[in-house]
Structure 1
Amino acid sequence: MKLAMNYLIKNEADIILDNIKVHSQLGADCFVIIDNGSTDNTRELLDSVKDQYEMIIIDRPLLDYQQSNWKTEMAKTAASKLGADWSIANDADEFWIPKDGSLKTEMVSSGSILECPRYNVLFDRKAFDGEAPYYTQTNRVQYPINYPKGIQCSQPNLSIMMGNIHGKVAVRSRGLVRVKGGNHRAWHAWGWLNSKKSQNIDIYHYPIRSKEKFIQNIENRKALLDAGVSKMGDHYRRWVSLYQDGLIEEELDRLTVTEKSRDTLFDLGVLVEDSTASMAISDLLSERSS
């Protein structure tokens, strides 16, 4: 069983090599990467490791951001050119951590779609301001707040990180029809018959890692909106609006865990202490560099 991990990325120099290193040790055998016009040194970092892994890099410096088309293209490229039996369309800030064995434990030859739950991990505000490594953080959202759909742009007091987020899917190459835009769903020839929910893989999501990176991401999303891109999550539209209004510091208080909010969030069970990903990422990065 051969597993491909595929990335659509732009300006992910702070985390992309960590992501590749960790998943290569957890069961990812090969990688297909579309670089969407990075302006930091992401592309140079990929070139520096491309001989260490079975990897295809595609340059796609366009502003139309065709998520579903490009993620489907990567999965089919992984199958046709690298012989991948399964594919994961991953984001650079997501780590797929198996409870036991490897990522491939549940990826059988008769399968179709494997649905995996995803959880946000929040920074302590002091650690965030102190530029601590993202993987040292252990504040995981356990019971997300079920905000009504469509109010993210109109309610400035909400915490996007506390809201409910969709899981992601791994997909069997044979029978794949299409990977949906955010990789929350996929169309598969026999997905209606035998898709299953994973009992082994949890996905840990680290979207807020530094103020510089956060603002860089917002500026990238603003450029896409200015170019006429219409398919974009409301949380990105919210952040672009707050950025333009000079309200990013207040938003960062809502996206991290402050001393004022910590006890309440843990007492209510919204957050839980979870060191699973922190320990796994730290250990795997240490093993790779030693």
Structure 2
Amino acid sequence: MRLVLTLLVRDEVDVVAAMIEHHLAAGVDFIVATDNGSQDGTVEVLADYENAGVLQLLHEPEQNYAQAQWVTRMARLAAAEHGADWVINADADEFWWPRDGTSLTNALAVLPARYGTVPAPRENLVADPHRSGAWPNRLVVRDLLSLHQRGGRIGNKVAHRADPDIEVRQGNHELRGARLGETWPAQPITVLHVPDRSYEQFAHKIEIGGRSLAANPDLTSTFGWHWRADHDRLLDGTLERAWRTRQLTADSLLDGLQRGRLVPDERIARRLEELRDTALRPEQLAAVLDGSSVRRAD
């Protein structure tokens, strides 16, 4: 079985090498990546993996967040040109994890042929306030509820059988395709989500994401509402205060652990450290683990 991952990325140099190395180690055979105008070193990291023969790099400079169009193109390439049997459409801050601890390939290969999609729930990893250093050392607490700002559960992602005519909907949460078949009723894969790795990274994401959403007239105001709300806070100078209220304190961490909403989870930290010397590109992974990959455009 051949598993191909698609990746749409912009200015994610602090995480993208770790994400790539994890998925290669977890059974992904090849990656189709689209860079959306990165200026922080992300392109150079992706080009390094392309030179290693495990990634095809596409460039999409338009700043209008046409995610559905770009991810659909990659998913179709995965099927038509890269021989995929299964496809995962991922973001740079997602670490897809087989629940049985073996490999993503094993989790998908056992499914009967009539099942063409597999839901993958996301759970946020959040920072332990007692820890410092690069994000893999700090994001070691898993939020079992993982609620968005309006109080609902953050959406699942979905893996699917390869289809040259697939259509991936905006957000990578839904698909359309004549060959998809039934949805597997179990959830053999979870997604460990690390969207909030530092205030600087978060504020930059909100800045570029808010601008891109506003530049796409085809997206309604309800799409990306959380980005839009935080972009308004960025513009009026209240974003950092809002961000800090969302971070764990020593007291809220203890309360969450006692109530069972939070659990310690060092899987990503351990996995990346295990890969430090055996990674395809050890120097790229080391830069993430040591925090030296973080840089911004002038």
With structure 1 as the length reference, what TM-score do the two structures score? 0.85
* Residue 13 (1) aligns with residue 17 (2): no
Indicate which of 189, 205, 218 corresponds to 2:206.
Answer: 218
Q: CA deviation at 1:173?
A: 0.8
From 113, 119, 132, the equivalent of 1:115 is 119
- How far does residue 249 in structure 1 lie from its aligned partner after superposition? 2.9
SS at match of 2:253: helix
Q: CA deviation at 1:170?
A: 0.8
Paired residues of 2:22 and 2:272 also in contact (CA < 8 A): yes
Q: CA deviation at 1:95?
A: 0.2
Alignment of 1:39-54 (within 5 A): 39-54=39-54
Cα deviation code 1:224-259 (max 9, x no counterpart):
144245354121112111112222332222332112
Report the AA paired with residue 157 of structure 2.
K
8 Å CA contact 1:112–1:175 kept in 2: the answer is no
Query: Taking structure 1 as reference, are residues 118 and 176 closer, same or farther at Cα in structure 2, changes over 3 Å only?
Result: farther
Q: Which amino acid aligns with 1:221?
A: G
User: Against the structure 1 CA distance between its residues 219 and 134, is the aligned structure 2 distance closer, same or farther, given a 3 Å change threshold?
Assistant: same
Tell me, yes or no, if the aligned pair for 2:19 and 2:92 is still in contact at 8 Å: yes
Distance 1:281 1:202 in 2: 17
Residue 185 (str. 1) matches residue 174 (str. 2): yes
* Matched length: 274
Distance (whole Å) between structure 2 residues aligned to residue 259 and residue 101 of structure 1: 34
Shift of 1:94: 0.4
Residue in 2 aligned with 1:80?
80
Of 54-63 and 261-270, more deviation after overlay is shown by 261-270
Question: 1:37 aligns to what?
Answer: 37
How far apart, CA to CA, are the structure 1 residues paired with 2:121 and 2:153? Answer: 11
SS in 1 for 2:39: coil
- How far off is 1:53 after superposition? 3.1
Distance 2:71 2:264 in 1: 33
CA distance change for structure 1 residues 41 and 189 in 2, over 3 Å: closer, same or farther?
Answer: same
- Structure 1 residues 126 and 284 mapped into 2: Cα distance closer, same or farther (>3 Å)? same
Residue 245 (structure 1) aligns with: 236
Contact 2:3 2:85 in 1 (8 A): yes
Q: In the alignment, which residue of structure 2 is the partner of 1:58?
A: 58
The 5-angstrom pairing of residues 54-203 of structure 1 reads 54-98=54-98, 99-108=100-109, 110=113, 111-125=115-129, 127=131, 130-134=132-136, 136-145=138-147, 152=150, 164-174=153-163, 177-191=166-180, 193-203=181-191
Gaps of 5+ in 2: 284-298
Q: Distance in 2 between matches of 1:23 and 1:135?
A: 19
Stretch deviating more after TM superposition (198-207 or 107-116): 107-116
The alignment yields a C-alpha RMSD, in angstroms, of 2.3
Q: Residue 107 of structure 2: SS of its match in structure 1?
A: coil
Give the direction of change, closer, same or farther, for the CA distance of 1:276–1:200 in structure 2 (3 Å limit). farther
Whole-angstrom distance in 2 between the partners of 1:106 and 1:169: 13
Percent of aligned pairs sharing the same letter: 30
Structure 2 residue identity aligned to 1:248: L
Name 1:155's counterpart in structure 2.
none
Find out whether 1:260 has 2:264 as its counterpart.
no
Q: 1:117-169 CA distances to partner (integer Å, 9 max, x unpaired)? A: 11011112454xx4433354221111345x7xxx74xxxxx8xxxx5111111
Cα separation, 1, equivalents of 2:210 and 2:174? 26
Write the deviation string for residues 196-232 of structure 1: whole angstroms up to 9, x where unpaired: 1454321100001122211111110232144245354
Residue type at the aligned position of 2:234: Y
1:278 aligns with 2:278: no
d(CA) in 2 for partners of 1:25 and 1:80?
24
Q: Is the 8 A contact 1:134 1:206 kept in 2?
A: no
- Does the 8 Å contact 1:22/1:285 carry over to 2? no
Gaps of 5+ in 1: 153-157
- Structure 1 residue ranges, 4+ long, deviating more than 4 angstroms after superposition: none
TM-score (norm 2): 0.83
Query: Which deviates more from structure 2 when the two are superposed, residues 243-252 or residues 280-289?
Result: 280-289
CA distance in 1, matches of 2:171, 2:83: 24
In terms of mean alpha carbon deviation, does 227-236 or 46-55 score higher? 227-236
SS in 1 for 2:12: coil
